[in-house]
Amino acid sequence: MSFRAFTAIIKRDVKMAMRSFGDGLTLVLFFIMIGVIIPFAVGPNKVLLATIAPGVVWMAAFLSSLLAIDRFFRADFEDGSLLAMRHASISLSTIAFAKLIALWLTTILPLIFATPMLAMMLNMDYELFFRTILSLLVGTPALIAFGGIGAAITVSLKRGGLIAPVLILPLSIPILIFGISAIKTNAGVGVENTAVLFLLGISMLAMVFAPFAIALALKLDQE
């Protein structure tokens, strides 16, 4: 019963994201464009581009996810669905967890599918590319989890879209650090594996604890 409600929330959010397909497409375009702008900024030197490629991909994912989190609770807050969810048969933190998963599926997964384009333009080799995909897969759940906390705290603010990224960025720096280290092969023997494990640890912890913080913030907001 409760698991069905849980999957229903995920299905609902994914379906709604599919219907407003333009939003998701804009995000993917934004993600790719950041990667395209970088060669104009630093010059089309292929060696240099390959060196900074992991950082560029992570920055692009970072900024895109910051853009995406504003929409996280906004629509549900404005049309009153959030109020209804508080009285659902499953707890608000479970719903928040389901919504986090749905957000990851609808915003981050398309970005990961778009990564090959960036990899090609930034002159990544195959090994670097697969490491980047792995590091994004492992690290982005934490990014979404922190973003969810920021979105929940600023949901009642009209201009929350501006302030939430400022609140979330400092907290997300560890994700970026371990995300980049997980890609770099020249960092040291075994370092990249350690970084992947740290990244996995942060992601799992964040996905477990963020729903409670999100539910708490949403409840306090509506008191």
Partner 1 sequence: MKKYSPPKNINKSQTVKEMNWFDKLAHPGQFLKWSKYLILPLSLITIALFGIGLWFAFFNSPEDYQMGDTVRIMYIHVPNAWLSQFVYMAMAVSAIGTLVWRHPMADVSMKVAAPLGAAFTALALFTGSLWGRPTWGTYWEWDGRMTATLILLFMYLGLVALWRSFDDQLRAAKLIAVLTLVGAINIPIIKFSVDWWNTLHQPSIISAEGLSMPASIYTPLLVMMLAFTFLFVTLHLVGMRTEILKRKADALIRKSVSQTGNKGVGK
Question: Which residues of the chain form contacts with partner 1 (CB under 8 A)?
Answer: 149-150, 153-154, 156-157, 159, 163, 166-167, 169-171, 173-174, 177-178, 181, 187-188, 191, 198, 202, 209, 213, 216-217, 220-221, 223
Choose among 62, 81, 75, 220: nearest CA to 146: 62
Q: Looking at beta carbons only, is 109 or 191 nearer to partner 1?
A: 191
Tell the smallest beta-carbon distance from residue 36 to partner 1 (Å).
Answer: 27
Cα 141 from Cα 23, distance rounded (Å)? 20
Tell the smallest beta-carbon distance from residue 218 to partner 1 (Å).
Answer: 10
Tell the smallest beta-carbon distance from residue 170 to partner 1 (Å).
Answer: 4
Cα 8 from Cα 94, distance rounded (Å)? 12
Q: Looking at beta carbons only, is 121 or 216 nearer to partner 1?
A: 216
222's CB contacts (< 8 A; 6+ apart) are 82, 83, 86
Q: Counting beta carbons within 10 angstroms of the beta carbon of residue 48, is it exposed (0 to 12), middle (13 to 18) or buried (19 or more)?
A: middle
Q: Looking at beta carbons only, is 110 or 174 nearer to partner 1?
A: 174
Q: Looking at beta carbons only, is 67 or 187 nearer to partner 1?
A: 187
